């Protein structure tokens, strides 16, 4: 790790959970009245964990992440990231977290290097420090050769890696990744998984949303499943599988898919039926 | 200010890398200047038309072209692209003051507006148009045009932040567009029909146009010039305040 990053990370230690939400609620005003997107979410993610946040489409995953990352106001409840209340001190919280949202949010007209330098400057670095940190990150995500090309020419995997790098410019203590591998080919997905493990290996807590249960099974220390704006399961993948096996008296260990389907009230038949209908 | 300037530089880079969006801001106003000069130049010969102060009709038309060039609002459309593509959220997730997120683009618009105004004045020179108020007048001319660009983009940004839609921002901009033509566009205000004169008098753009025109046709007429700057200043403050309010409540 560079001297620059070590210095920055040194002054930002915190005690307690990396992410803590209590009674988190989000209501929107919709055309048909108030929409209750998130209805009282309690979460606790310990420092150093890779935490998986799963749920079907529209369950409240992204809304919860957007509240935790200061991008969305909180209707009620509290949320702390790296010990900082995100509603009361959003700028302090932003200094401690890195965010890579659902679709790689990049400016296609910039080059990869320009984007990273800009991101570094926005986190308060001088021009020289920003240039050297950008170079470090480009090397880290293996984009040195493409660094001075416009982002619009990057592949999906390259964009994801650049997005990930841009979330790491300030060596955050908590990294939020919203569906980081959606739309990637299997090889690119493995690269991102390795990167997430490596980042976590340096002590960064990772809060990951995903629709891929295999991804959660491979990467996450603990997971929570949200459905209808409420947490319906929480634990380690092994705990959740064992609980289901015991409860249903199954001979074989169920998969995380089975846990997910059970938790969200869905069945394989129903899901398959929906797929058939769409296919027709 | 440093964050604002960093974001402003990025917005300028964006504009320079999109010449297909930049060129119409020069081409279309020049097109109108040439067409209007061709159509009405003989009706208003410089020798017998008092309000031209010895210049040709193109000099009278140049302020309209300059205001038109400063009223494209492409920066707001780039903002919508950022919002739709998710990059705006990336910027919002950084610890940058919220104000810098909108002020960055407005600062870039000042620089862009200055550049466009200078180029338009230079392009007007071959038509026999000159700035009668001299070098100071020239500086005031490009400054007033650039500040108008900020007012217009500020208005467009409001729509962009509210609707987050390129189509709505484009259409919303058209609401403001007629104000540019509800002015003493072809003849001085006192020569307009009474209803048009009343409408033009109520239209703040009129005072900006008259200030620009006085700088081109006459020596420094401070009353007109200061009125123009006053109108732009007041509208600019309103637009900036509304933008800041909008970004602080952006969810």
* Average confidence (pLDDT) over A71-91: 96
Q: Which of B3, B82, B89 sits opposite A122 (nearest CB)?
A: B3
Cα distance between residue B106 and residue B8, in whole Å: 7
What pLDDT score was predicted for residue A14? 80
* Average confidence (pLDDT) over B7-20: 95
The dihedral over CA atoms of B134, B140, B144, B147, expressed in degrees to the nearest 10, equals 140
What pLDDT score was predicted for residue A272? 56
Looking up tokens 């609401």, which residue turns up? B175
- Per-window interface: A 48-87 vs B, CB < 8 A: 69-73
Which residues on neighbouring strands pair with residue A38, listed in sequence order?
A26
Note whether B145 and B212 are within 8 A (CB). Answer: yes
Question: Helices (H) and strands (E) in chain A — how many of each?
Answer: 11, 10
Report the largest interatomic distance among the alpha carbons of chain A, rounded to a whole angstrom: 62
| Lowest mean pLDDT across A102-111, A171-180, A201-210, B81-90 | A102-111
pLDDT band at B6 (very low <50, low <70, confident <90, very high): very high
- Using an 8 Å CB-CB cutoff, list chain B residues near A92: 95
Q: Which of B7, B10, B94 sits opposite A94 (nearest CB)?
A: B94
Residue B125 burial (CB count, 10 A): 10
DSSP letter, residue A255: P
Cα distance between residue B71 and residue B13, in whole Å: 20
The percent of residues in chain B predicted with pLDDT above 90, rounded, is 92
| Tokens read off for B113 | 């507006």
The percent of residues in chain B predicted with pLDDT above 70, rounded, is 99
Q: Which of A109, A119, A122 sits opposite B14 (nearest CB)?
A: A109
Phi, psi of A186, deg, nearest 5: -55, -40
What pLDDT score was predicted for residue A268? 64
The model's pLDDT over B87-99, given as tens digits with 9 standing for 90+, comes to 999 999 999 999 9
What pLDDT score was predicted for residue B101? 95
Write the ipTM. Answer: 0.89
Is the confidence at residue B226, as pLDDT, over 50? yes
DSSP letter, residue A254: P
What pLDDT score was predicted for residue A273? 52
Task: Please name which of B118, B123, B186 lies closest in space to residue B149, comparing C-alpha atoms.
Answer: B118
* Average confidence (pLDDT) over B9-27: 94
| Tokens read off for A160 | 């994801």
| Lowest mean pLDDT across A13-17, A112-116, A269-273, B108-112 | A269-273
What pLDDT score was predicted for residue A11? 45
Which residues on neighbouring strands pair with residue A223, listed in sequence order?
A52, A235
User: Sign of dihedral through CA atoms B59, B64, B70, B74?
Assistant: negative
Give alpha helix (H) positions in chain B.
2-16, 19-40, 57-69, 74-85, 87-92, 98-124, 134-163, 166-181, 194-202, 204-217, 222-248
pLDDT band at B1 (very low <50, low <70, confident <90, very high): low
Interface of B with A (CB under 8 A): 3, 6-7, 10, 13-14, 17-18, 82, 85-96, 251
Note whether B13 and A151 are within 8 A (CB). Answer: no
The dihedral over CA atoms of A197, A53, A161, B82, expressed in degrees to the nearest 10, equals -160
Tell me which of A6 and A274 has the higher pLDDT: A274
Is the confidence at residue A275, as pLDDT, over 80? no
Cα distance between residue A99 and residue A237, in whole Å: 24
The percent of residues in chain A predicted with pLDDT above 70, rounded, is 90
What pLDDT score was predicted for residue A271? 56
Q: How far is A123 from chain B (nearest CA, A)?
A: 6
The model's pLDDT over B173-205, given as tens digits with 9 standing for 90+, comes to 787 778 888 999 999 999 999 999 999 999 999
Q: Do B85 and A103 touch (CB under 8 A)?
A: yes
pLDDT band at A279 (very low <50, low <70, confident <90, very high): very low
**Cα distances (Å, whole numbers) of residue B243 to A87, A199, B50, B208, B247:** 21, 38, 43, 22, 6
Q: Do B95 and A91 touch (CB under 8 A)?
A: yes
Is the confidence at residue A46, as pLDDT, over 90? yes
The model's pLDDT over A236-257, given as tens digits with 9 standing for 90+, comes to 999 999 999 999 999 999 999 9
Q: How far is B243 from chain A (nearest CA, A)?
A: 18
Residue A93 CB contacts under 8 Å (≥ 6 apart), including other chains: A70, A81, A82, A84, A85, A86
Residue B60 burial (CB count, 10 A): 28
Q: Do A119 and B10 touch (CB under 8 A)?
A: no
The percent of residues in chain A predicted with pLDDT above 90, rounded, is 74
Note whether B2 and A127 are within 8 A (CB). Answer: no
Is the confidence at residue B27, as pLDDT, over 80? yes
Note whether B214 and B224 are within 8 A (CB). Answer: yes
* Average confidence (pLDDT) over B102-111: 95
* Average confidence (pLDDT) over A7-34: 81
Q: Span A3-235: which CATH code?
A: 3.40.50.300
Q: How far is A268 from chain B (nearest CA, A)?
A: 34
The dihedral over CA atoms of B27, B30, B35, B37, expressed in degrees to the nearest 10, equals -170
The model's pLDDT over B146-157, given as tens digits with 9 standing for 90+, comes to 999 999 999 999
| Tokens read off for B78 | 């780039």
Is the confidence at residue A173, as pLDDT, over 90? yes
pLDDT band at A109 (very low <50, low <70, confident <90, very high): very high
Task: Please name which of B232, B235, B234 lies closest in space to residue B212, comparing C-alpha atoms.
Answer: B232
Task: Please name which of B66, B57, B3 lies closest in space to residue B29, comparing C-alpha atoms.
Answer: B66
Looking up tokens 């749920």, which residue turns up? A55
């Amino acid at each position: 790790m560079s001297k620059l990053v070590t210095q920055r990370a040194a002054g930002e230690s915190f005690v307690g959970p990396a992410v803590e939400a209590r009674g988190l609620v989000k209501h929107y005003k919709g055309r048909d009245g108030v929409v209750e997107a998130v209805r009282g979410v309690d979460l606790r993610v310990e420092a150093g964990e890779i935490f998986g946040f799963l749920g079907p489409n529209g369950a409240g995953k992204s809304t919860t992440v957007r509240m935790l990352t200061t991008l969305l106001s909180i209707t009620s409840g509290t949320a702390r990231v790296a010990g900082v209340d995100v509603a009361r001190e959003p700028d302090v919280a932003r200094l401690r977290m890195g965010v890579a949202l659902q679709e790689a949010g990049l400016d296609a007209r910039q080059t990869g290097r320009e984007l990273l330098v800009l991101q570094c400057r926005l986190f308060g670095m001088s021009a020289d420090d920003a240039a050297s940190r950008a170079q470090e990150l480009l090397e880290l995500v293996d984009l040195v050769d493409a660094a001075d090309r416009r982002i619009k020419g990057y592949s999906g995997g390259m964009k994801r890696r650049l997005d990930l790098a841009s979330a790491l410019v300030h060596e955050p203590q908590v990294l939020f990744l919203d569906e980081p591998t959606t739309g990637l080919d299997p090889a690119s997905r493995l690269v991102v998984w390795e990167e997430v493990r490596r980042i976590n290996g340096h002590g960064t807590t990772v809060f990951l949303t995903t629709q891929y249960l295999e991804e959660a099974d491979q990467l996450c220390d603990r997971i929570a499943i949200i459905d209808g704006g409420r947490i319906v399961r929480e634990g380690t993948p092994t705990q959740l599988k064992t609980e289901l096996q015991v409860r249903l008296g199954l001979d074989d260990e169920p998969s995380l898919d089975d846990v997910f389907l059970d938790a969200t009230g869905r069945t394989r038949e129903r899901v398959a039926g929906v797929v058939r209908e769409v296919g027709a | 200010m440093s964050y604002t300037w960093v974001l402003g530089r990025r917005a300028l880079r964006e504009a320079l890398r999109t010449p297909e969006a930049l060129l119409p801001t020069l081409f279309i106003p020049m097109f109108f200047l040439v067409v209007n000069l061709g159509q009405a130049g003989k009706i208003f010969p410089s020798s017998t038309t008092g309000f031209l102060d010895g210049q040709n009709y193109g000099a009278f038309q140049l302020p309209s072209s300059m205001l038109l060039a400063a009223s494209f609002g492409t920066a707001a459309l780039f903002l919508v692209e950022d919002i739709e593509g998710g990059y705006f959220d990336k910027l919002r997730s950084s610890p940058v003051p919220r104000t810098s997120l909108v002020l960055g683009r407005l600062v870039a618009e000042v620089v862009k507006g200055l550049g466009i105004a200078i180029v338009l004045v230079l392009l007007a020179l071959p038509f026999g148009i000159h700035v009668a108020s001299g070098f100071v007048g020239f500086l005031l001319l490009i400054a007033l045009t650039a500040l108008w660009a900020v007012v217009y983009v500020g208005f467009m940004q409001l729509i962009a932040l509210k609707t987050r839609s390129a189509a709505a921002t484009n259409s919303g901009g058209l609401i403001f567009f007629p104000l540019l033509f509800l002015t003493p566009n072809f003849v001085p205000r006192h020569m307009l029909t009474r209803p048009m004169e009343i409408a033009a008098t109520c239209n703040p753009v009129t005072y900006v146009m008259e200030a620009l025109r006085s700088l081109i046709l006459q020596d420094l007429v401070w009353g007109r010039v200061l009125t123009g700057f006053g109108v732009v200043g007041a509208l600019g403050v309103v637009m900036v305040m509304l933008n800041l309010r909008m970004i602080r409540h952006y969810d």
